[in-house]
Chain A
Amino acid sequence: MATLPQLIEEDIARLDAELRELLERSDATTALIIDKGGFLITSQGDAQQFDLTTVAALASGAFMANQTIAGLVHETNFNSIYQQGEQFSMLVTCVDENCLLLVVFKAQVSVGAVKYFAAPAVKRIALQLQIAQERAPDAGLDLSVLNLADPSQVFKRKA
């Protein structure tokens, strides 16, 4: 199974910069890069009014479900999903094999504009991920940083 490349702080900073630029140009509210397994990698914009962890998990599930539907109707290019709302709308676009870009924007903002500005952003995000991959394709984690607290009782039941 393919995995994400190692991303260092510099990568995250560039990804964040891309998201900020996308928000500014498209007048969107929040932008997230998420892993197709449901993890939130990074986000920019308004993080207060949405539960981004849950949004990431549900959006990746919805996207992957649509990919499966695409396969069933012999289509290989369902590479984005758009949900139109009354207050906010949402666009999820495939970045690469492992990641998605999710943009939340006010309903009065044109989805065409969001798509227009998201397209080059997706390319630059994918490029940054590729740079990271080529920098250290097989590098692992510095395990010395992991220092277990008490793994036998990570979760405690209320008395």
Chain B
Amino acid sequence: MAIINQASKELQVKIVYYGPAMGGKTTNLVQVHDHVQTAAGNKGKLVSLATSSDRTLFFDFLPIEAMAIKGFKTKFQLYTVPGQVIYNTTRQLVLRGVDGIVFVADSQYEKMAENVESFANLEENLRTLRLNLADIPYVLQYNKRDLPNVAPVEYLEFLLNNRELQVPAFSASAHKCDGVFEALNMITRMLLHKFISQGTPQYA
């Protein structure tokens, strides 16, 4: 849950990038880190707890400040989870206190089963934290659209966004920074509107 510090006029929110292994979650954070326009000092270091082969071991973490609410310093904390199936406990830890989720799906045909499994795993892990995906703002990002063997967007929509209430979905090629800021801005917009219309973030 977000934290609002009335004493220092700060709002802190946590956005988690979730999805199957090697889908481009870390690439999203790297691109945001490399390309975001911020005032000096408002972008933190990208911290990556990765193995020697660049697979995320625990999480990646990128703190950024942005002017989202007038009069409040808004601090966004972007996290990724490790996508590999064996690191499920770690994914549960990172999801604690989540405010918004970007689900990064791999568009390649052969990754469809992994996408569906990862999405089901997200719902299950939220349930262990007594959270319901329907109550948390999330967006879908169909990554790797520049590869030749990708499934049509309609098929991904059928697999991952086939619900009563469809969520925004973005085609992306994260390594070219296409679709990265679109997804981030949309999830930001959704969660800020949630706070304003109905939410009761925690004070600090």
Does A associate with B in a complex?
yes
A74 at the interface (CB under 8 A from B): no
A80 at the interface (CB under 8 A from B): no
Cα distance, A6 to B7, chains bound together (Å): 12
Which chain A residues border B12 with CB–CB below 8 Å?
39-40
Tell me if A54 and B14 are in contact (CB < 8 A): no
Give which listed residue, A5, A37, A41, A151, contacts B96 with CB less than 8 A. A37
Tell me if B193 and A38 are in contact (CB < 8 A): no
Tell me if B202 and A4 are in contact (CB < 8 A): yes
Instruction: Output the nearest chain A residue to B126 by Cβ-Cβ distance.
Output: A1
Which chain A residues border B98 with CB–CB below 8 Å?
37
Total interface residues on B, CB under 8 Å, equals: 58
Query: Which size class do A's interface residues fall under?
Result: 35 or more
Tell me if A3 and B7 are in contact (CB < 8 A): no
Tell me if A156 and B36 are in contact (CB < 8 A): yes
- C-beta contact mask, B117-130 vs A, less than 8 Å → 1, else 0? 00000000000011
Cα distance, A68 to B70, chains bound together (Å): 39
Tell me if A58 and B61 are in contact (CB < 8 A): yes
Give which listed residue, A64, A154, A156, contacts B93 with CB less than 8 A. A64
Which chain B residues border A65 with CB–CB below 8 Å?
58, 90, 93
A73 at the interface (CB under 8 A from B): no
Tell me if A36 and B47 are in contact (CB < 8 A): no
Q: Identify the B interface with A (CB < 8 A).
A: 1, 3-8, 12, 14, 32, 35-37, 44-45, 47, 58-59, 61, 63-64, 66-72, 74-75, 77, 79, 89-90, 93-94, 96-98, 129-131, 177, 181, 184-185, 188-189, 192-193, 195-196, 199-204
Known: A39-B77, A157-B35. 8 other contacts (CB 8 A): A8-B203, A36-B96, A37-B96, A38-B61, A39-B14, A42-B5, A141-B4, A158-B35
